[in-house]
Amino acid sequence: MKIIIVDDELSPREHAKRLLAEFFPEIIVCAEAENIVSAYEAILLHQPDVVLLDVDLTDGTAFELLNRFQQIHFSVIFITAFEQYAIKAIKFSALDYLLKPYTTAEFVEAIRKAQRKETEQETNLKFNVLLQNFQYQQQLSKIVLRTSDSIHVVQLDDIIRLQADGAYTAFYLVSRKPIVISKNLKEYDNLLENNGFIRTHQSHLVNSKHIVCFHKSDGGSLGLSDKTLVPVATRFREKVIQQLEKI
């Protein structure tokens, strides 16, 4: 397995090399790069299996580098220190990242995930979503949902609501069957906040674009575009009303 380390600072590159040598001696660090130009040339020359890629480089961003490739033939582990929008875009695309300063355990887990190489089709599907989202900063439009046997690309506007089912979350969509993901609702609540989604109940998260009406009786509930009624829990009621007033 070959890896290229791309970071505009020497210290993080050296740190990554030390961890690779200690925990993955079988991995070959075939090149290092500090900017988009040198990284692009190194990737073309060495054809790596994995690229450790800092999001912010001296001559641009990791996304500008990836846009240079018509097809992505390698896995990417993004590294970033603070760029919150970048992190959200990466999460929406179901890709891996390390937040500086990362722990040894986080680094090792990220490399192990990269070793479980997915198909080239899956990789390019995720990167297409990432790069499309990143063209419209602060207006993420698509999310990648991965089940045990499929990868789904879903428009945020097509998500009507999310419902918790233990450790799983069901996505109810416009004109499609529900998609059940093995992640809990809280993770998606954190991810979809500030994107028009409202938490109404411990088990429910709804897309404000699909709210038709608010029923005040019986504690409160929301009528949605698919004719379902979603309960509004007492502890969420005031926040729900405040958010509805902003729509």
Give DSSP secondary structure letters for 45-103. Answer: HH--SEEEEESEETTEEHHHHHTT-SS--SEEEEEESS-HHHHHHHHHTT-EEEESSPP
- Residue-level pLDDT at 137: 55
89 closest CA partner among 208, 163, 195, 176 = 195
Contacts of 144 (CB under 8 A, 6+ apart): 92, 93, 94, 125, 126, 129, 151, 152, 153, 154
- Residue-level pLDDT at 130: 85
74 closest CA partner among 6, 146, 10, 19 = 6
- Residue numbers of the chain with a pLDDT score lower than 50: none
How far is it, in rounded angstroms, from Cα 79 to Cα 7?
9
How far is it, in rounded angstroms, from Cα 149 to Cα 144?
13
Q: What is the largest CA-CA distance in the chain?
A: 66
- Residue-level pLDDT at 135: 65
**Residues 63, 209, 212, CA angle at the centre, nearest 5°?**
170
Distances (CA, A) of 130 to 84, 118, 141, 247: 14, 17, 10, 27
Give the residue extent of every domain in the chain. Answer: 2-134, 154-246
- Residue-level pLDDT at 83: 65
Q: What is the DSSP string of 136-195?
A: STT---EEEEE-SS-EEEEEGGGEEEEEEETTEEEEEETTEEEEEESS-HHHHHHHHTTT
- Residue-level pLDDT at 141: 86
Fold assignment, 2-134: Rossmann fold (3.40.50)
**Number of CB atoms found within 10 A of residue 54's CB:** 25
- Residue-level pLDDT at 79: 94
Contacts of 185 (CB under 8 A, 6+ apart): 162, 163, 164, 169, 203, 205
The second-level CATH assignment, the architecture, of 154-246 is Beta Barrel (2.40)
Full-model pTM = 0.72
N- to C-terminal Cα separation, the chain: 51
DSSP, collapsed to helix, strand or coil, labels residue 208 as helix
- Residue-level pLDDT at 94: 82
